[in-house]
Amino acid sequence: MTNDKDRVLIFDTTLRDGEQSPGATMTHDEKLEIAELLDDMGVDIIEAGFPIASEGDFAAVSEIAKRAKNASICGLARAQFPDIERCWDAVKNCEKPRIHTFIGTSPLHRAIPNLTMDQMADRIHETVTHARNLCPDVQWSPMDATRTEWDYLCRVIEIAIKAGATTINIPDTVGYTAPRESADLIKRLIATVPGADEVIFATHCHNDLGMATANALAAVEGGARQIECTINGLGERAGNTALEEVVMALKVRGDIMPFYTGVESKKLMHISRRVATASGFNVQFNKAIVGKNAFAHESGIHQDGMLKNKETFEIMRPEDVGLAGTSLPLGKHSGRAALRAKLRDLGYDVGDNQLKDVFVRFKALADRKKEVYDDDIVALITASAEGDYDRLQVLSLKVVCGTGGPAEATLEMEIDGKEATATCQGDGPVDATFKAVRELHPNKARLQLYQVAAVTEGTDAQATVSVRLEEDGLIATGQSADTDTVVASARAYVNALNRLLVRREKAGPGADAKEISYKDA
């Protein structure tokens, strides 16, 4: 894809590996939006999904491939002809399509399909050849490469290169390796395997031991020129290499790592927030680059140093990652034009209808809060997006609670255009409220996650509530923000229920669930 020896390609797998995080399943429209943001910010390759996994995955990959403007769109396929053909059908309408096929090569993974070394080598040759006959850009991965015998790893990589693979990805599937090993492995493979100098080597690191970013950067020093990563480090178990971390590490430490990417770093914060909202996985406060505290300073010594010279305790500027300094330019007297301009500064280009909805919410918030921060505005736009699912709506909520007995919630909802009211008691105000929702709209959904985070500081801060529900194999996440935590909880719960309803109606039962396992390979 490039002949520049100092250019590192960014391969984003948020929509594939990231979505494998339990509960992180995204809707079709969310996948399209995130893919558009990735494409716009300069990501080189977008792994949009696993097309044979479900009709939903196939539809999303196909639509993303049609809409891509700059990035190569990639689909994942096991080492089986039906997988590869389904993958090609999904990506073939892209200007720069890619098939990514894989098989587990370590002793543990070879035992799953019960293949001998020779049988697996034959399958690799057949499937990579088949993929290359369909698509000019083929990536091949020996899953669990870091625990595969050295001689066998070299053998199968040579086979894949001869069969037509253009990128060889070396996955640290279980996050087992360490930086020195990571660099050495790539360096030795490039020096040893015939034809290695004619392909791009990639690295795919998991974070089980907390070393994913370090291992990925070490692999680049060893000769890899593609990093597989996800926004916010999303992914199975402890996650993957975080895109924002490797991009900024290469940008800040170019003195010792003379490499660069094509990613526009000022768009990192916006996409981080959007992925957090879509997945329901909030970013930890102390997360590098995009965490809420990444540019916050509380220590007296730190604050004094920052006032005198910001470089004393900041190695990069907040503006470099798209974070505007917390400001208070908006209040209850601000108009629509000012709000639209602020949203644009924060990375949101909204239509007239959405602006109207956000403006109403903004005015209501400004009447209740002394100061409206940028993060408050982001919470409002997030809540507005969640409101697209509206078969069920919260109209009013009254809660009575205290130390004298059980809490009681009186909830009024609109359900398919009809108003209904229920009063329920519970162990606390949120429990009572959720019981009232279930009484008005009976369901079997199981609560997997209930999470509350303050948007800003102060007793008048908005609370952002995330609720994740599971019902019959389908998982949906709802979010909402309000200065009243219980109200935000009710709306988040109802938003999640709305998403479950939409998925059942549009996709059919189980369509968005992962219907097959990678272990079937």
Binding residues, by number, are: 17, 204, 206, 240
For residue 406, give every residue at least 6 positions away whose Cβ sits within 8 Å of its Cβ, in sequence order, or none.
Answer: 425, 426, 427, 432
Mean pLDDT of the 41-49 span: 98
SS3 per residue for 351-412:
CHHHHHHHHHHHHHHHHHCCCCCHHHHHHHHHHHHHCCCCCEEEEEEEEECCCCCCEEEEEE
Q: Answer whether residue 69 shows pLDDT above 90.
A: yes
Domain span including residue 311: 295-325
pLDDT at 370: 65
**Are 318 and 415 in a shared domain?**
no
pLDDT at 297: 41
For residues 481 and 444, is the Cβ–Cβ distance under 8 A? Answer: no
92 domain-assigned? yes
Query: What is the CATH number for 474?
Result: 3.30.160.270
**pLDDT one-digit tens code per residue, 251-264:** 999 999 999 999 99
State which amino acid sits at residue 106.
Answer: S
- What is the mean predicted confidence (pLDDT) over 343-370? 80
State the residue for tokens 């977008």: 46
pLDDT of residue 510: 45
pLDDT at residue 321 above 60? Answer: yes
**514 has pLDDT over 50:** no
265 and 321, same structural domain? no
Alpha-carbon Rg of the chain, whole angstroms? 25
DSSP secondary structure letter of residue 326:
P
Length of the chain: 521
In this predicted structure, what is the pLDDT of residue 489? 95
pLDDT tens, 116-169?
Answer: 999 999 999 999 999 999 999 999 999 999 999 999 999 999 999 999 999 999
- Mean pLDDT throughout 394-407? 90
pLDDT at 426: 94
Q: Which residue has the higher pLDDT, 300 or 31?
A: 31
404: tokens are 């004298």
Q: Given 221, 246, 279, which residue is the final one in a domain?
A: 279
Q: Name the pTM for this structure.
A: 0.79
In what order do the strands lie in the sheet containing 463-471?
A: 446-454, 463-471, 474-482
Query: Coil, strand or helix: which one is 446?
Result: strand
The reply to whether 355 falls in a domain is no
- Based on the fold, state whether residues 313 and 255 are members of the same structural domain: no
Judge if 182 and 307 occupy the same domain: no
CB of 400 closer than 8 Å to CB of 407? yes
- Average pLDDT of span 200-222: 98
- 427 belongs to a structural domain: yes
Are residues 189 and 218 located together in one domain of the fold? yes
Q: Are residues 212 and 86 in the same domain?
A: yes
* Confidence at residue 384, expressed as pLDDT on a 0 to 100 scale: 60
Element (H, E) at 189: helix 179-192
CATH number of the domain where residue 206 is located: 3.20.20.70
From CA 510, how far away is CA 227, in angstroms rounded?
33
- Last residue of one domain, picked from the residues 212, 244, 279: 279
Residue ranges of the annotated binding site for Mn(2+) are 17, 204, 206, 240
Q: pLDDT averaged over the chain?
A: 87
Q: Is residue 132 included in any domain, yes or no?
A: yes
Higher per-residue pLDDT: 160 or 310: 160
Weakest-pLDDT range from 2-16, 313-327, 460-474, 489-503: 313-327
Name the β-bridge partners of 467. Answer: 450, 478
Do 72 and 161 belong together in one domain?
yes
pLDDT above 90: percentage of residues in the chain: 60
- 61 and 85 co-located in one domain: yes
Domain assignment present for residue 474? The answer is: yes
Tell whether 85 is covered by a domain: yes
313 and 416 assigned to the same domain: no
H or E, element range at 419:
strand 418-426
Question: What confidence tier does 521 reach under pLDDT thresholds 50, 70, 90?
Answer: very low
**Helix, strand or coil for residue 271?**
helix
Is 312 inside a domain boundary?
A: yes
Q: Are residues 248 and 312 in the same domain?
A: no
Q: Is there a domain that residue 188 lies in?
A: yes
414-423, 445-454, 499-508, range with the lowest pLDDT: 499-508
Of the three residues 251, 279, 307, the one that is the final residue of a domain is 279
Domains: count for the chain? 3
- Out of 101-105, 384-388, 392-396, give the one with best mean pLDDT: 101-105
Do residues 227 and 321 share a domain?
no
pLDDT band at 325 (very low <50, low <70, confident <90, very high): low
pLDDT of residue 306: 36
Report residue 322's pLDDT band, with 50, 70 and 90 as the boundaries.
confident
CA geometry: angle 375, 394, 337, nearest 5 deg: 40
pLDDT interval class at 440 (50, 70, 90): very high
Q: Does 125 share its domain with 32?
A: yes
